[in-house]
Amino acid sequence: MNSKWYVYSKKADFREISRRFGIDQVTARVLRNRDIITEEQIRYFLHGGVQELYDELLLPDLEKAARILLQAVQEHKHIRVVGDYDIDGVCATCILLRSLHALGAHADHRIPDRINDGYGINPGIVHEAVEAGVDLLLTCDNGIAAVDELREAKEHGLTVIVTDHHNVRKDENGADILPPADAVVDAKIAGSRYPSEDICGAVTAWKLIRELYRLAGLPADRWLKYIDFAAIATIGDIMTLKGENRIIVREGLRILNGGKVLYTPADSGPAQGSGGEYGTPNTGLRTLIEKLHLDDKQITSYHIGFIIGPCINAGGRLESAESALQLFMTEDKEEAARLSEHLIFLNEERKSMTEAGVAKGIRIVEERHLKDKVLVVYIEGLHESLAGIVAGRLKERYNRPVIVITGAAEGLKGSGRSIEAYNMFEGLCKAEDLLNRFGGHPMAAGLSLSEEQLEPLRKRLNENADLSEEDFIRKIWIDAPMPIGYVTAQLIEELDSLAPFGPGFERPLFAEKGLKASDLRVLGKNRNVLRMRLSEANGIALDAICFGEADAMREELKEASSVDILYSPKINEFGGRRSIQIEVKEYMVH
């Protein structure tokens, strides 16, 4: 086990927080560990609703963008939405198109092809718009860096609105370099008054629609019908689940699970159901959920991140993102079923290709690169859209920065995933002379290069990497040491009520030392589940499960005199019975 365990030691008056908010002291500690500290922050976290989402007018240029867009709608101008091929871009494009069509706008779209076009708007897309007689280009989830491309659009007389959430380019003095658009909406622009930079492209577009609808005189809650797409994009684009993001995700999940958003207009009484019919009103999304056999399950952020989201992304990875967008735009149930089944098929194909790529990558690392600090892995034949996924899997296995390189139409392309101790973007900056193009941030990057620069790149990155063996050890943070005997169904339900869990608000994790493991049984057709009984010295015992190589774990625990565990408590529902169960995340034997 290549990890070290640390206990949070953040201080607060947990007894007073418990008393004031009617929560367990363990729950109070979990909130403090996530830096939810003040009474206002705790109240917002526990009770904040959609009426308390951040004011969209605090986003740079948003009001201006909404006024320009409304005028274009009223004058029947030709509007083209330019999106992106990932889950965030598809959801943002869907929100904008459906909202514009609801206003009677003449609006169409263009989503770049991952292989042929690359990311974002390019000169070809601009020329297409000019030839098609487009009057207004509206970007979503891209555009903030397209300075030259949008300058050309303006030179051709197009009106341009940019909505994006990516980092803004800077000049040598650190000043923003903004595209020459009529309005640029991005929370990361210098001087933005928006309370959070960490919103996805779909939420940025959704906030624009709220103001557009207000200017058009539509009811204040009409924009809520798209909150499920805002939530899916927030999870799929791995935004931190703090502040308004968790409200968006929580209420979006409420809709996906057959409920209604709880919305309170400013001048009304208690929160009330809103947002139209119960459940998602989108035919395509509802059909996809049914085809994935999730319609009878409580959908969580896990289902979005690992089941629904990958299907939405699969089209853009292996074929075209048009399949997912068409699914969300159709009202025809038969077409929705066909598109859903096709996306599920593509995702199964993507999973098989990914597993093959990961296995090949592991073999290459084990044979050639185990001593490298930065793993630069060339995998011949790997689909270039899968390089980032494979890099992420290899990073998780080796806890080292990983760049996966594969062949492209011209030269090589790569995608990287990093660890906290290594700024991948800065590392690539020091090898800029070896690359054709690159971009990214500390934890992830994309690049292209010629074949002859592959080995020089590997050498340069490793020579410059100031990493020690300590940096390759995973650090796991524990909310509190807690005896399993303290766990009750009421505490589990209270902890579960803190959902959604994800980046920035991980599921609570606890620890206990000196347990005895017994009744060890291997389950699952892949023999990847170990069921056991964990007992404290005082005789208190609970059932537990652990996922992994169950046969090896069973032999290891069978010989142990005691075991220390990291765990999350859960309610196990089986055969109509509810019981407390411990899910062991990691363990150490003695």
Beta strands, E only, 127-225: 136-140, 159-163, 169-170, 176-177, 183-185
- Tokens 């270039």 belong to residue: 384
Residue 277, pLDDT score: 47
Q: Within this chain, do residues 430 and 520 fall inside the same structural domain, yes or no?
A: no
H or E stretch at 585: strand 577-589
H or E stretch at 406: strand 402-407
- Tokens 């994309």 belong to residue: 446
Is residue 333 assigned to a domain? no
Q: Which of 197, 223, 245 is the last residue of a domain?
A: 245
What is the b/e burial string over 271-286, where b = at least 16 CB atoms within 10 angstroms of the residue's CB?
Answer: eeebbeeebbebbbbb
Q: Which of 472, 490, 524 is the last residue of a domain?
A: 472
Nearest CA to 99 out of 223, 256, 229 is that of 223
Q: Cis before residue 500, ω within 30 degrees of 0?
A: yes
Nearest CA to 414 out of 441, 443, 377 is that of 377
Q: Within this chain, do residues 427 and 503 fall inside the same structural domain, yes or no?
A: no
Q: Within this chain, do residues 142 and 173 fall inside the same structural domain, yes or no?
A: yes
Integer Cα distance of 298 and 257 in angstroms? 6
Sequence-ordered alpha helix ranges (H) in 273-332 = 283-291, 301-303, 309-318, 322-329
Residues 489/571, Cβ–Cβ less than 8 Å: yes
First to last CA, the chain: 14
Length of the chain: 590
Tell me, what amino acid is at 23?
I
Integer Cα distance of 329 and 145 in angstroms? 28
Is residue 239 assigned to a domain? yes
Residues 309/87, Cβ–Cβ less than 8 Å: yes
Residue 269, pLDDT score: 39
Q: Which of 195, 223, 245 is the last residue of a domain?
A: 245
Specify the CATH number for the domain of residue 435: 3.10.310.30
Q: Within this chain, do residues 428 and 508 fall inside the same structural domain, yes or no?
A: no
Integer Cα distance of 283 and 295 in angstroms? 13
Is residue 99 assigned to a domain? yes
> 3-state SS string over 504-554?
CECCCCEEEEEEEEEEEEEECCCCCEEEEEEECCCCCEEEEEEECCHHHHH
Q: Within this chain, do residues 442 and 534 fall inside the same structural domain, yes or no?
A: no
Specify the CATH number for the domain of residue 489: 2.40.50.460
Q: Within this chain, do residues 461 and 489 fall inside the same structural domain, yes or no?
A: no
Integer Cα distance of 33 and 12 in angstroms? 10
Specify the CATH number for the domain of residue 206: 3.90.1640.30
Give the global pTM: 0.89
Tell me, what amino acid is at 10?
K
The bridge status of strand 136-140 relative to strand 159-163 is parallel
What is the b/e burial string over 1-33, where b = at least 16 CB atoms within 10 angstroms of the residue's CB?
Answer: eeeebeeeeeeeebeebbeebebbbbbbbbbbb
Is residue 350 assigned to a domain? no
Domain count, the chain: 3
Q: What are the tens digits of pLDDT across the range 482-497?
A: 999 999 999 999 999 9
Integer Cα distance of 315 and 458 in angstroms? 32
Q: Within this chain, do residues 81 and 154 fall inside the same structural domain, yes or no?
A: yes
Q: Within this chain, do residues 238 and 130 fall inside the same structural domain, yes or no?
A: yes
The bridge status of strand 412-417 relative to strand 444-449 is antiparallel
Nearest CA to 115 out of 445, 383, 416 is that of 383
Q: What are the tens digits of pLDDT across the range 326-382?
A: 999 999 999 999 999 999 999 999 999 999 999 999 999 999 999 999 999 999 999
Furthest CA-CA distance within the chain = 79
Is residue 354 assigned to a domain? no
Q: Within this chain, do residues 445 and 532 fall inside the same structural domain, yes or no?
A: no
Q: Within this chain, do residues 86 and 155 fall inside the same structural domain, yes or no?
A: yes
Is residue 286 assigned to a domain? no
Nearest CA to 26 out of 511, 557, 443 is that of 511
Residues 336/327, Cβ–Cβ less than 8 Å: yes
Structural domain range at position 548: 475-589
Q: Within this chain, do residues 86 and 201 fall inside the same structural domain, yes or no?
A: yes
Is residue 213 assigned to a domain? yes
Q: Within this chain, do residues 489 and 462 fall inside the same structural domain, yes or no?
A: no
Residue 402, pLDDT score: 98
Residuewise pLDDT in 10s, the chain (590 residues): 578 999 999 999 999 999 999 999 999 999 999 999 999 999 999 998 998 999 999 999 999 999 999 999 999 999 999 999 999 999 999 999 999 999 999 999 999 988 787 778 999 999 999 999 999 999 999 999 899 999 999 999 999 999 999 888 888 898 999 999 999 999 999 999 999 999 999 999 999 999 999 999 998 778 999 999 999 999 999 899 989 999 999 999 999 998 877 655 543 433 444 444 457 889 999 999 999 999 888 999 999 999 999 999 999 999 999 999 999 999 999 999 999 999 999 999 999 999 999 999 999 999 999 999 999 999 999 999 999 999 999 999 999 999 999 998 889 999 999 999 999 989 999 999 999 988 777 888 889 999 999 999 999 999 999 999 999 999 999 999 999 999 999 999 999 999 999 888 999 999 999 999 999 999 988 899 999 999 999 999 999 999 999 999 999 999 999 999 999 999 998 777 889 999 999 999 99
Is residue 409 assigned to a domain? yes
Return the sign of the alpha-carbon dihedral for residues 184, 187, 188, 190: positive
